[in-house]
Amino acid sequence: PAPRWLAPMVAAGRAGSLGPAPLLCLARAVSAIARLSLGPLLPLLSIDLPIDIYHKGQLLSSFSTGYLLTQVGGGWFADRFGAKLVITISLVLTGLLLCLAPLVADGEGVDGLCMLYFVMGFANGPLFPACSVMLRDVPLRARSQASAVVDAGGTLGGCLATALCPWLASLVDWRRLY
């Protein structure tokens, strides 16, 4: 049996009142992995690419810069065109850009990788506000729990990115990890 403090969430989940929260949790986890895996992988990238201290800073801030520019607009698009569409486009673009990362790194170097991570952040910025829009349909009594489940995806993704990505990359090379 679940601990007492977890019982309301388990009951809400059984009743289906958390709505799309578990799926949105997964979306946030994927987003966090895309965003946060770069830092732990940077030592491995530095072996193959000439990355000075300036470019390390640029690379690590590129995603956040693009992300910042589209958060407010992402909420507007989710309200106007539907959160499902915005989330789908955001995740598909992020996946495609992740697949291109090794090619861009090899062809364009660090500057190309900075641009790619900026565009990836730009594509990913609408995800958080679109998740909030999707939670509007969750019953009020379960909305805070659903929101917590969605937000936990970011933390889960961060844990996975920092704990597993360097280990996996050391086994299969960072290019294959992307």
Dist. CA 170–CA 176, nearest whole Å: 10
The encoded tokens of residue 151 equal 């937000």
Q: What is the pLDDT of residues 124-148, one digit of tens each?
A: 999 999 999 999 989 999 999 999 9
Flag whether pLDDT at 79 surpasses 70.
yes
pLDDT higher than threshold 80 for residue 154: yes
pLDDT, position 10: 55
pLDDT at 6 > cutoff 80 = no
pLDDT in tens, 83-118: 999 999 999 999 999 999 999 999 999 999 999 999
Q: What is the SS3 string spanning the chain?
A: CCCHHHHHHHHHHHCCCCCCHHHHHHHHHHHHHHHHCHHHHHHHHHHHCCCCHHHHHHHHHHHHHHHHHHHHHHHHHHHHHCHHHHHHHHHHHHHHHHHHHHHHHHHHHHHHHHHHHHHHHHHHCCHHHHHHHHHHHCCHHHHHHHHHHHHHHHHHHHHHHHHHHHHHHHHHCHHHHC
Reply yes or no on whether the pLDDT at 20 is more than 80: yes
Judge whether residue 3 has pLDDT over 80: no
Q: Flag whether pLDDT at 13 surpasses 60.
A: no
User: What value does the mean pLDDT take over residues 45-53?
Assistant: 92
What pLDDT is stored for residue 177 in this prediction? 86
Whole-number pLDDT of residue 129: 95
- Mean pLDDT calculated for residue range 42-54: 92
